[in-house]
Chain A
Amino acid sequence: MTLHIVSKSPYSSSALADCLRTCGNGDAIVLIEDGVYAAQTGSEKLQDFAGKAVFCLRADAEARGVAVTATVDEIDEARWVALCTEYRPIVSWFK
């Protein structure tokens, strides 16, 4: 199962939309850097995450003052590494 890492804001890039088009059953998504804006409480992007395992790097959300919605798991760097060991391949979306 694939781990998708999205590092661009859904408001400035198609990275998340492109990722979601290929994200299959059993895949997981990690939001990092400006990607964390998709996890903001109240964001209209959240409906796209229905039924998917979505994680968000806590340090990057805090750095931006993003209040992460309860349905997205906030993780630290150690958990991010652990996720990378649990999934394969790892695909980064940044365009």
Chain B
Amino acid sequence: MKFTLVVYGAPHASEGAASALRFARALLEAGHSLYRVFFYGDGVHNGSALAAPPQDEQDLLGQWQRLQQAHNLDLVVCIAAAQRRGLLSESEASRLEKSAANLATGFTLAGLGQLAEAAAVCERVVTFGG
């Protein structure tokens, strides 16, 4: 079955993102497909390359990136939510004349249309709150 996950939770602010990661692993292990993970609202902070959690804490970013590489996942960060919160790709940073970019490798910025399209294409959409 084809799933899309929506993540509203920022890392370390709520468990939503960690739960989404556990759910993503479990559905892939069960042989289902993960069409897209859409990071929305404060969930966009999951895509920050600059997060540097202590070594004895869970490294959510690294875990998302490893899962993305292993399964060629489409990790999409809502562009409008990201701009407001200071999460920028190289091209957005340049376009908005900001001094740095911080979108992590493996994530892409895109509009809400990507969530609508995923909801239309997938049999299940599961939301993970903030």
Interface residues of A, Cβ cutoff 8 Å to B: 5, 7-8, 32-34, 59, 76-78, 80-82, 84-85, 88-90, 92-95
Contacts A77-B23, A77-B26 aside, 13 further interface pairs with beta carbons under 8 A come to: A5-B126, A7-B129, A78-B30, A82-B30, A84-B3, A84-B27, A84-B126, A85-B124, A88-B124, A90-B126, A92-B128, A92-B129, A94-B8
Choose one: B27, B129, B130; the contact of A81 (CB below 8 Å).
B27
* Bound form: Cα–Cα A55–B57 in Å: 28
Q: Which residues of B contact A78 (CB under 8 A)?
A: 26, 29-30
Chain B residue with Cβ nearest A34: B15
Identify which of A33, A59, A81, A90 gathers the most chain B CB atoms within 10 Å of its CB.
A81
Please tell me if the beta carbons of B19 and A33 are within 8 angstroms of each other in the complex. Answer: yes
Interface residues of B, Cβ cutoff 8 Å to A: 1, 3, 8, 14-16, 19, 22-23, 25-27, 29-30, 32, 123-130
* Bound form: Cα–Cα A82–B23 in Å: 11
Distance of B30 from chain A, by nearest CB (Å): 5
* Bound form: Cα–Cα A77–B27 in Å: 8
* Bound form: Cα–Cα A22–B14 in Å: 25
Distance of A75 from chain B, by nearest CB (Å): 11
Please tell me if the beta carbons of A81 and B23 are within 8 angstroms of each other in the complex. Answer: yes
Choose one: B14, B22, B32; the contact of A77 (CB below 8 Å).
B22
Please tell me if the beta carbons of B32 and A92 are within 8 angstroms of each other in the complex. Answer: no
Q: Which residues of A contact B19 (CB under 8 A)?
A: 7, 32-33
Q: A7-B19, A32-B19, A85-B32 are in contact. Are A77 and B126 (CB under 8 A)?
A: no
Q: Which residues of B contact A80 (CB under 8 A)?
A: 23, 26
Please tell me if the beta carbons of B1 and A85 are within 8 angstroms of each other in the complex. Answer: yes
Please tell me if the beta carbons of A94 and B16 are within 8 angstroms of each other in the complex. Answer: yes
* Bound form: Cα–Cα A93–B128 in Å: 9
